[in-house]
Chain A
Amino acid sequence: MHSKLQVRVRNIIEETSTIKRFTLEANDHSMLPYFSGGSHITTFLPYPSGTLERQYSIFNISPESGLFEIAVHLADGSTGGSRFWHQNVQVGDVLSVSYPKNYFPLSFQAKRHVFYAAGIGITPFLSMMAELAEKKSSFELHYAAKSKEQCGFYDYISKTYPHQCHFYFSNGDGAKRLLPTQLLNHRIGTHVYFCGPENLIQDFTTAAKSYGYPSFNIHAERFAPPQKKEQQAFQVKIKRSGKQLDIPVNSSLLEVLLQHGINVPFSCRAGGCGTCEVRVVKGQIDHYDSFLTEEEQRSNHMMLSCVSRGKGRLVLDL
Chain B
Amino acid sequence: MISHFSLPYPFSDSNVYKYSNNAALLHTKNAIELTDRYLDEISLKRELLTKHPERCYHSSPHTMAAQWEIVDLIINNLVTYYPDKFELEKKDGQWIFSNLLTKETASFKFGDRTTLEIEPLDFIGRHVQEDLILMMQRDGDLILDAGQLCFPANWSLYFNSEMNFKEIHSPIPGFQSDFLVDRILQFLMRIEAGTPWERKNWSLMAGSRLDSSLETFSEWGQARKRVTKENAGELVHFRVEVQKLFRLPKSNGILFTIHSHMLSLEKFIQHTPWLEQFYAILRELPKAIYDYKGISLYREQVLDYLEAELKKR
* A residues with CB within 8 A of B: 1-3, 5, 33-36, 39, 98-102, 105, 107-109, 216, 263, 265, 267-268, 270, 272-275, 277, 290-291, 293
Q: How far is the CB of A101 from chain B (nearest CB, A)?
A: 5
User: B139 near A100 (CB under 8 angstroms)?
Assistant: no
Q: Answer yes or no: B225 CB below 8 A from chain A CBs.
A: no
Interface residues on B, range: 20 to 34
Tell me the B19-37 residues at the A interface (CB within 8 Å).
20-25
Supplied contacts A101-B192, A273-B24, 8 more A-B pairs, CB within 8 Å = A2-B192, A2-B194, A99-B192, A102-B252, A109-B138, A216-B139, A275-B21, A277-B183
User: B249 near A267 (CB under 8 angstroms)?
Assistant: no
User: B249 near A105 (CB under 8 angstroms)?
Assistant: no
Contact among B14, B21, B138 for A274, CB-based, below 8 A: B21
> What residues of chain A lie closer than 8 Å to B249, measured between beta carbons?
33-36, 39, 99-100
> What residues of chain B lie closer than 8 Å to A98, measured between beta carbons?
192, 194
Known A33-B249, A99-B195; contact A272-B69, beta-carbon cutoff 8 A = no
User: B190 near A291 (CB under 8 angstroms)?
Assistant: yes
Query: Could you tell me the distance between the alpha carbons of A107 and B138 in the complex, rounded to whole angstroms?
Result: 7
> What residues of chain B lie closer than 8 Å to A35, measured between beta carbons?
193, 249-250
Q: How far is the CB of B144 from chain A (nearest CB, A)?
A: 14
Q: Across the two chains, which residue of chain B brings its CB closest to A263?
A: B14
Q: How far is the CB of A66 from chain B (nearest CB, A)?
A: 12
Query: Could you tell me the distance between the alpha carbons of A120 and B22 in the complex, rounded to whole angstroms?
Result: 41
Q: How far is the CB of B98 from chain A (nearest CB, A)?
A: 21
Interchain residue pairs with CB less than 8 A apart (23): A2-B192, A3-B195, A5-B194, A33-B193, A34-B249, A35-B250, A39-B249, A98-B192, A99-B194, A107-B139, A108-B138, A108-B139, A109-B138, A109-B139, A263-B14, A267-B20, A267-B21, A268-B24, A268-B25, A273-B187, A274-B21, A291-B187, A291-B190
Query: Could you tell me the distance between the alpha carbons of A272 and B194 in the complex, rounded to whole angstroms?
Result: 13
* B residues with CB within 8 A of A: 14, 20-25, 69, 136-139, 183-184, 186-187, 190, 192-195, 197, 249-252
Contact among A108, A109, A265, A272 for B25, CB-based, below 8 A: A272
Query: Could you tell me the distance between the alpha carbons of A290 and B189 in the complex, rounded to whole angstroms?
Result: 11
Q: Across the two chains, which residue of chain B brings its CB closest to A33?
A: B249
Known A39-B249, A267-B23, A268-B24; contact A33-B194, beta-carbon cutoff 8 A = yes
> What residues of chain B lie closer than 8 Å to A263, measured between beta carbons?
14
Known A102-B252, A108-B138, A216-B139; contact A273-B194, beta-carbon cutoff 8 A = no
> What residues of chain A lie closer than 8 Å to B251, measured between beta carbons?
36
> What residues of chain B lie closer than 8 Å to A272, measured between beta carbons?
25, 187, 190, 195, 197
